[in-house]
Structure 1
């Protein structure tokens, strides 16, 4: 990509799945990566891969269910590196249960990781981007930014919130040279969807509805995220881009 992002990129959820794929693609494009995960051990493989590409990788551990941890993480990043050039927020969790039985603890954990901490990180790191006059923020939204889903009320609420947060920040920061956008993945073959993939009936129902005829891979999502983080997307603001194999158009 001729306009691939360079500089320093922060990627949350970098240890696996979509976040890992994005971190590696950013490194291939010339970025040094600060990868955030829940454990150093979980970040070891992606660290090795990115360093093998000749790019720097710094692993940082944070419990993003804790708002204080998100605030402290932002401080560690800016103290050590200043304001990053790119922030990709791919960390996410899900809790499944019928709405009438959905525990408040599950709701709080999902909203904390998927919506509250992304706002805190965007606020803290985005402030420096606004002051500098440049920066790219890419959230990972979901099909459930548009649809309600089943047995995942907290997840649906969090991803709906991410879509609106993307637009709200873009409205304020576009004039300051900061691009805020989101990718909304469809069904992706990751650890988060293992239960669905293992259910032959549900897996078949989903697969039959996807016009592309297959589930996404993490690399399918990474390509869109890296595009939005690149100079090729300089005039794109406040977009929630579905990468869903045609699901929403069905």
Structure 2
């Protein structure tokens, strides 16, 4: 039995875009949505990463297509939506792309790094949601999912500006959800804890940082990308139809209060 037949097909007939989805959390989300029946557009800034991810996902019998996309590039974003149109429209947008060029406390962040973090983590997420609306409004229901972070609630000292950018996504989620509540388009967020990916390497790549990370996690283990994908599938499905403006925290029990 292939992986694609082991899940409930809650998303049959749906089309999803997942940004930054050739590795880590984004890849796990794209895979899970496809396993549940969605046609998924995956993307990455590098062509070879796109080709590798698409090959792996198709080898599981999953319905995916892929293309290069830098979410800060308007033409690239448009190509994502064009690809969705070719698949029949758009039902689900998962904004996962993020950068963190600064490993520093918030007030030690260089201005150029601050600008880059907010350009990709916040502005691009806002633009993706805004540009997705014409397609989402044509479907029976729409789902916008922003990938935030536990750092949105409990800032990490070494990820100061990044943490603030993710807190901003919580506000964007609330505001957009209120605007779209009467249109059957929900807007929710995911707040992963410390997930074992290349992107979060600074938090667990050596014994000292790993011990520090584990000391914060009551479950005493790092999360895995698949720990996040099921929550994304729930938010993408009709099972979450009465939920909007909320953030699901998947952090192994880490504190999460603003």
> TM-score if structure 2 supplies the norm length?
0.88
Whole-angstrom CA distance in 2 between matches of 1:199 and 1:235: 42
After superposing the two structures, state which structure 1 stretch, 48-57 or 16-25, moved more: 48-57
Q: Pick from 146, 149, 157: which aligns with 1:139?
A: 146
Q: Pick from 91, 101, 107: which aligns with 1:85?
A: 91
Say whether residues 1:241 and 2:241 are aligned partners: no
Whole-angstrom CA distance in 2 between matches of 1:143 and 1:154: 14
Counting only pairs closer than 5 Å after superposition, residues 55-134 of structure 1 correspond to structure 2 as 55-66=62-73, 68-69=74-75, 71-73=77-79, 75-77=81-83, 80-81=86-87, 83-95=89-101, 96-134=103-141
Say whether residues 1:224 and 2:248 are aligned partners: no
Task: Indicate the RMSD between aligned Cα atoms, in angstroms.
Answer: 2.1
Whole-angstrom CA distance in 2 between matches of 1:112 and 1:191: 21
| 1:154-208, Cα deviation, whole Å (9 max, x unpaired) | 2122111111111111111121111111110000000012222123223212212
Say whether residues 1:10 and 2:17 are aligned partners: yes
| 1:138-167, Cα deviation, whole Å (9 max, x unpaired) | 110101221222132321221111111111
| 1:92-131, Cα deviation, whole Å (9 max, x unpaired) | 1112124444222211221111111111111111233235
Say whether residues 1:165 and 2:185 are aligned partners: no
Say whether residues 1:186 and 2:193 are aligned partners: yes
Cα pair 2:90 2:139 within 8 Å, conserved: no
Whole-angstrom CA distance in 2 between matches of 1:101 and 1:2: 47
Cα 1:180–1:210 shift into 2, 3 Å? same
Whole-angstrom CA distance in 2 between matches of 1:155 and 1:138: 18
**Offset, 1:235:** 0.9
Cα 1:217–1:133 shift into 2, 3 Å? same
Whole-angstrom CA distance in 2 between matches of 1:25 and 1:116: 26
After superposing the two structures, state which structure 1 stretch, 172-181 or 56-65, moved more: 56-65
Structure 2 spans left out of the alignment, 5+ residues:
1-6
- Larger helix proportion, structure 1 or 2? 1
**Offset, 1:11:** 0.5
1:203 match: 210
Q: Pick from 163, 166, 187: which aligns with 1:156?
A: 163
Q: Pick from 35, 41, 45: which aligns with 1:28?
A: 35
3-state SS of the aligned residue for 1:179? strand
Whole-angstrom CA distance in 2 between matches of 1:143 and 1:22: 18
3-state SS of the aligned residue for 2:243? coil
Q: Pick from 45, 50, 56: which aligns with 2:57?
A: 50
> TM-score if structure 1 supplies the norm length?
0.91
Whole-angstrom CA distance in 1 between matches of 2:75 and 2:106: 29
Whole-angstrom CA distance in 2 between matches of 1:70 and 1:104: 26
Cα pair 1:133 1:176 within 8 Å, conserved: no
2:4 match: none
**Offset, 1:242:** 0.5
Cα pair 2:39 2:63 within 8 Å, conserved: yes
